[in-house]
Structure 1
Amino acid sequence: MTMITSVFKRCEKKYLIDATQRRTIEAAARQFMSPDDYGRTLVTSVYLDTPDRSIIARSLEKPVYKEKLRIRVYGREDGTALIFLCQHGLVAARAFYGDMLLAIPAFFELKKKYKGIVYKRRVRMSLMGAWALAHGASYEAAMTTYPLACVKGSDPLTHHLTIDVQIAHEIEAALGRYDGLEPSAAILCWRVAWAPQNEAAEPRITFDDELCYVDLAAGDPVTHPILEPATSVMELKTSTSLPHWITDALSSLHVYPQSFSKYGVAACMSAARHEERKAAHA
């Protein structure tokens, strides 16, 4: 059983690779690593931002410190529910899904980057609880009012460790730094995560493909592709140096790390589409 981790501190390097390069890297990885228990999974992440998208605008300037706030779910049905909730609001979502929203586990995440090191904090709660937290409820109130159905019947606060409360308060502080936060964009991708075959926790490799986005801020229901279908985003995640087999494989393929933000690209594509529409109506 894959354990759920709430706190991460590591270096994350991203690479854009084609299908042939991916197969070569996967072949090299099989000697030391295996896909985790979840297999190929649809990951849906909704990024919170101000109406003028000031958070991602600042992030794209590559400052020494930057942060992002998002709600993430796993699986096709849960991703559909999250996007429906963002597009239609809580009243409509409750009318359509009912108590199913309490059975959908969601991660509310604060992802920070300082001098190249990624610090990620996340708390696990029901989708309705995450929505409430994003809209001004305290963590304690969200957990009490909308407890995750799998632990219903127990005290929703005592079910979580003290560290979860500490992380939640850090997320609350980040939410309070911005005015008018709203669901800005949903980023979808199919992910396969690889982990070491031995007891080591690192490195981890993720392969994301079929990247696309839904422009929630613009009220656009269409799903737009971010990359070509054959292109994958590979991320290497570790707090130590990379093993030689990885660096050798990358060197032989002439694959190099590059700056790439899924939400950042989506925001830029959204802005370009907006300018195209303005020009068409000028």
Structure 2
Amino acid sequence: MQNLVVTRFEHKYLLTDAQAAELRGKLNAALAADSHNAGPSGSYLVRSLYFDTPDSRDYLDKVDGLFSRQKLRLRVYGGEGGRAKLECKQKQGDYQKKTSVWVTADQCDAFARGDFSSLLDTDDEDAHFLYALASRGYRPAGLVEYRRSAWLLGVRNTRVTLDFDVRGTDVLPTLYGPVVLRPLLDPGLVVLEVKFDRKLAPFVRRLLKGYQRTRLSCGKYENCRALNELL
């Protein structure tokens, strides 16, 4: 079971389609495109199944604006079966630490039933950390799917992404298989995410100048959980 721990800052912004198209051209010219960007849209599919406690503690911590909070999710790329990432994303303001392990489709099915015991079938400390967290009663609480275009810069571990066609559901979510999804953003809006170590490189800061005006405070999971409130 391969593990991955990432620590860095993360900033999110809302762009219009026109702004995103303009920025895409600049990013293509200046940064290395993620190898997974594919097709006419230069993007790839991301699907995330979020878990929460019976009292929705993680969701409410975000709604209440707590400085320290966390999320637990399963993430699969490409919309197909196979292995996925089980991730805990811990945040201290803008600073984040993400602990991940790769898991199989069978493990994902077990996790959705509340059985995380397979994480103990290894001596990996990160898997044990995720088990200790998930075994507190975490169950599926919402599913989010979107298309992502990503660009990379080796300086300060910089990653810039554009997420569009963001949709979700909080009704009987499942990681695999067809589900009925609803838009989580107003039409014509795209999410810009900027991730980096310590301080954003001046070159990237100049590249993004003018696109960081509308800071996004509510994440995709929170928008998904708020779906029923909008009915």
TM-score range, shorter chain: 0.7 to 0.9
The one of 13, 35, 38 aligned to 2:36: 38
Alignment-derived partner of residue 144 in structure 1: none
Structure 2 residue 144 is the aligned partner of structure 1 residue 209: no
Alignment-derived partner of residue 10 in structure 1: 8
Structure 2 residue 117 is the aligned partner of structure 1 residue 137: yes
Alignment-derived partner of residue 188 in structure 1: 145
Structure 2 residue 203 is the aligned partner of structure 1 residue 234: no
The one of 41, 60, 76 aligned to 2:79: 76
> TM-score w.r.t. structure 1 length?
0.70
In structure 1, what is the Cα distance between the partners aligned to 2:97 and 2:44? 23
Alignment-derived partner of residue 29 in structure 1: 27
Can you list the C-alpha shifts for 1:147-195, whole angstroms capped at 9, x where unaligned?
xxxxxxxxxx5xxxx6xx111111112113x33x221111000011111
Alignment-derived partner of residue 62 in structure 1: 65
Unaligned runs of 5+ in 1: 79-103, 142-156, 274-282
Unaligned runs of 5+ in 2: 38-42
Tell me how large the CA RMSD over aligned residues is.
2.4
Amino acid of the structure 2 residue aligned with 1:139: L
Q: Structure 1 140/115 Cα, relative in aligned 2: closer, same or farther at 3 Å? A: same
Asked if 2 retains the 8 angstrom alpha-carbon contact of 1:14 and 1:260, the reply is no
Asked if 2 retains the 8 angstrom alpha-carbon contact of 1:42 and 1:191, the reply is yes
- Flag the structure with higher helix content: 1
Amino acid of the structure 2 residue aligned with 1:105: R
Shift of 1:202: 2.3
Alignment-derived partner of residue 106 in structure 1: 84
Identity percentage of aligned residues: 25
In structure 2, what is the Cα distance between the partners aligned to 1:119 and 1:69? 12
Alignment-derived partner of residue 40 in structure 2: none
| Deviation beyond 6 Å, 4+ runs, structure 1 | none
Can you list the C-alpha shifts for 1:95-140, whole angstroms capped at 9, x where unaligned?
xxxxxxxxx0110111100243100000001021233355241414
Amino acid of the structure 2 residue aligned with 1:132: A
- Flag the structure with higher strand content: 2
Alignment-derived partner of residue 277 in structure 1: none
Asked if 2 retains the 8 angstrom alpha-carbon contact of 1:42 and 1:76, the reply is yes
Task: Name the count of aligned residue pairs.
Answer: 219
SS in 1 for 2:117: coil
Shift of 1:206: 1.0
- Which of these two proteins has the greater Rg computed from alpha carbons? 1
